[in-house]
Amino acid sequence: MAAISLLNPKAEIARAAQALAINITAATGLQRLMASNLGPKGTTKMLISPAGDIKITKDGNVLLHEMHFCHPTASMIARASTAQDAATGDGTTSTVLLIGELLKQADLLIAEGLHPRQLTNGIMQAKDQAIQLLQSLSMPVEIERDILVALAQTSLRTKVDASLADLLAKICVDAVLSIRSDRQQLLDLNMIELMDMKQYTTLETQLVEGLVLDHGGRHANMPTYLEQAYILTCNVSLELEKTSVDSSFCYKSAEEREKCVSEEHRFIDQRVAKIIELKRKLCSNNRRGFVVINQKGIDIPSLEALAGAGILALRRAKRRNMERLTRACGGEALHSLEDLSEEHLGYAGLVYEQQLSETKYTFVRQCRNPTSVTILIRSPSGHQTETIKDAIRDGLHAIQNTIEDGCLVPGGGAFELHAYKELVKFKPWVKGKAQLGVQLFADSLLVIPKTLAINSGFDVQDTIVKLTTAAKESEQLVGLDLDTGEPMNPTEKRVFDNYCVKKLMLNSCSVIACNLLLTDEIMQAGMTSFKG
């Protein structure tokens, strides 16, 4: 009788072969679910929420986030895979496939009597050797637009249609290069705003070297088109505010009340007057515009005064846009208007409003050396917008990884084929039954080119024989051409993967697979609630 049964008679226990079978069944089931999504030729899945919302995607991270798994092992694999996406922005589906393949291959050997401990020793040795091979295959690259576009295309074509992927790749590269000042390695991707407008088609998506705000001027007489505009970014209240604590005022007469109210308005009027005075000083002899973007509110009398002076004023701007405004336009974000001067102002060559249905959008464009930009996503429906946002996020992370790593890895299954060939050569150097673990790891790596071939509609056995033969005979790396099913040189075809994605995938897959193989008992023995 299990020890846990003595402590908790209601505990549910699965031991030895049963526990292993539970883990392997969950991993292989998840593998079959995700396999059809891999690569540019992968198919999509339609997810329907309980509320009836529809999402069509083949992004592994989105699928694993949106789906609910009751099986604990499947849930653990899903969390580990989405953690990889959070760290590197890619590799979710590949991680699921490799974990499932490792456990599926291990099931055959364990059924023949091999102890999991000896198997896991071989897997970990093979993993270390594969990471060394990965490092030797990495190609140092100069951070140039052409190479980054090729990498982004490889990443984005696995998420969206090829024509849209090529457009988004150029947009993502230009956005990252815009915010990358002084050739810095660490990038703040939060300086790239994603704004969506439900109009036109997805191919109308564009990069705005500046900002797009989803609100406009709050007065009908304010200008809607300004050139060579000064930008005042501030967090100053231009309206009457309630006190921060509960309080009350007592008056002896109506005159005292009027005096108190007029004094409150005087503070607001003085602030507005300083803005108008600076505008007249700077713009009286030219046609330059003046824009006020305030994080706090602006009351109606202040709006009327600003509109009368020809100033475009936006109130209650989002907090996240305040830093982006100063990064895009220059100047400073002010919390006081005491010493307001020209040096505190930013600049934009063009500021204009565009109205779509009942929503106003304000475009701030033609900024000087902007280090904050906006990707304006145009699409006719909400689920297309979400798909493009997920794809852009992955593309931006792929470019960021390349800049931080300083190197790339050939794609199209080239690394997996090369690692398979080298691990087979490495196997005789391993002592004992751990050789079987090395062979298992090598065979499992082939699941990536196999799945790419299946999703492209080619015969998997014929394709793998061609690829492995070409890899043995050629001194160059060989990958799979998804259009013809023939071996190809990924460097010549400009198909690349991120070094850090592959490295993290090898590490996480081997560790998770070994942990699941060494699990000999699964216990569900949670605390019970006693209600008298």
DSSP H/E element including 479: strand 479-480
DSSP H/E element including 195: strand 192-197
CB contact set of 416 (below 8 Å; sequence gap of 6+): 445, 446, 448, 449
Task: Give domain 143-209+370-405's CATH superfamily.
Answer: TCP-1-like chaperonin intermediate domain (3.30.260.10)
CA angle 456, 458, 462 (to 5 degrees): 145
* 487: nearest Cα among 418, 437, 430: 418
**Stretch 280-293: mean pLDDT:** 83
Query: Tell me, what amino acid is at 263?
Result: E
CA angle 296, 284, 233 (to 5 degrees): 20
* 362: nearest Cα among 213, 478, 507: 213
Write out pLDDT tens, residues 127-174: 999 999 999 999 998 888 899 999 999 999 988 888 999 999 999 999
Q: How confident is the model at residue 499 (pLDDT cuts 50, 70, 90)?
A: very high
Within 10 A of 315 (CB to CB), how many other CB atoms are there? 19
Determine which of 254-258, 431-435, 479-483, 499-503 has the lowest per-residue pLDDT on average.
254-258
Q: How confident is the model at residue 532 (pLDDT cuts 50, 70, 90)?
A: very low
CB contact set of 514 (below 8 Å; sequence gap of 6+): 120, 123, 124
**CATH class of domain segment(s) 214-367:** alpha beta
pTM of the model: 0.84
pLDDT at 354: 86
Domain ranges of the chain: 11-140+408-522, 143-209+370-405, 214-367
CATH fit for domain 11-140+408-522, picks 1.10.10.1110, 3.30.420.40, 1.10.560.10, 3.40.640.10: 1.10.560.10
Task: Give the three-class secondary structure for 470.
Answer: helix
> Residue 182 carries which DSSP code?
G
Q: Can you name the residues that pair with 322 across neighbouring β-strands? A: none
Distance CA 301, CA 285 (A): 27
**Stretch 206-224: mean pLDDT:** 86
Write out pLDDT tens, residues 500-531: 999 999 999 999 999 988 887 777 665 443 34
Write out pLDDT tens, residues 3-37: 555 555 555 555 557 888 888 888 999 999 899 99
Portion of the chain with pLDDT greater than 90, in percent: 26
Q: How confident is the model at residue 183 (pLDDT cuts 50, 70, 90)?
A: low
pLDDT at 69 over 70: yes
Question: What are phi and psi for residue 186, nearest 5 degrees?
Answer: -85, 125
